[in-house]
Amino acid sequence: MTKPSPFTVRGRHALLIMKDERDIAIVRRQFDRLGMSVTETDPSQAQSQRGPFDVMVLDADCMPIKSERAPLPTIDAPIIALIGTETPSRLKWLLDLRPASFLVKPLRSAGLYTALVVAFDFAQRRGEEAAYIEKLEDRVRSRRVVFGAVLQVMRNHTLSEEDAFALIRQTAMRYRTTIEQLSAEIIAAGGIPNRTNRSA
């Protein structure tokens, strides 16, 4: 499935967590021009919102920062933060949310499209990085399993590490399976499993 371009915003859905009517009107008008749908909510009701949303526009000035749990919905969407009060405590609270983009208040009609593109690009890159890290972690786990299987075969057959790995590789090819899968079976069975009477 082709991922949407960060520059394509038409048809996307935004959640606005804002209070100021003037700012809401500006954002709503711009999203309407861009072909986006909008769900508006008061900050006190934000936790009750459920997606899917493509982006969250959050007025950081109207959020309580002293409470242990900020009243934000748990949705997987990039955050565009609206910032007017530049105090260290509020900026620290905001940074902990890891916003994808921001706009400085007072809002103007210009700049929102740029903030959206940056936010969508940020979310896409973050997803790709998470998938890459997961792939690397899978490789590390697989190598541990293979190493454990090599040690098992070395002990069982009094082989060198190189010969034990060669035996596992040859057996995996004969069974038409992966080295990782066979290694997991070796560890589970305490040795090379007998597959002579069943298919791989």
pLDDT digits (tens, 9 = 90+) for 83-140: 998 888 888 888 888 899 999 998 988 899 999 999 999 989 988 998 889 888 888 8
Does some domain include residue 82?
yes
Tokens 């394509």, residue located: 8
For residues 33 and 56, membership in a common domain is answered with yes
* 47: pLDDT strictly greater than 80: no
**Residue 82, token pair as written in the block:** 């609206």
Does some domain include residue 39?
yes
What does the alpha-carbon distance between residue 171 and residue 151 come to, in Å, rounded to a whole number?
16
**Residue 106, token pair as written in the block:** 């007072």
CA dihedral 81, 85, 88, 92 (to 10 degrees): -20
Residue 172: how many other CB atoms lie within 10 Å: 19
Question: pTM here?
Answer: 0.68
* 143: pLDDT strictly greater than 80: yes
What does the alpha-carbon distance between residue 142 and residue 125 come to, in Å, rounded to a whole number?
26
- Reported as type and span, the H/E element at residue 35 is none
Residue type, 45: Q
Spatial contact of 146 and 183, defined as CB atoms under 8 Å apart: yes
Residue 64 has a pLDDT of 73
* 61: pLDDT strictly greater than 80: yes
Enclosing domain of residue 34: 13-130
Spatial contact of 36 and 14, defined as CB atoms under 8 Å apart: yes
Using pLDDT thresholds of 50, 70 and 90, give the confidence band for residue 42.
Answer: confident
CATH of the domain at 145: 1.10.10.10
Averaged pLDDT score across all residues of the chain? 86
For residues 50 and 68, membership in a common domain is answered with yes
3-class DSSP assignment, residue 56: strand
What does the alpha-carbon distance between residue 49 and residue 57 come to, in Å, rounded to a whole number?
13
Residue 199 has a pLDDT of 43
Does some domain include residue 199?
no
For residues 125 and 46, membership in a common domain is answered with yes
Residue 118: how many other CB atoms lie within 10 Å: 16
Give how many domains the chain has, as a whole number: 2
For residues 66 and 142, membership in a common domain is answered with no
Residue 196 has a pLDDT of 60
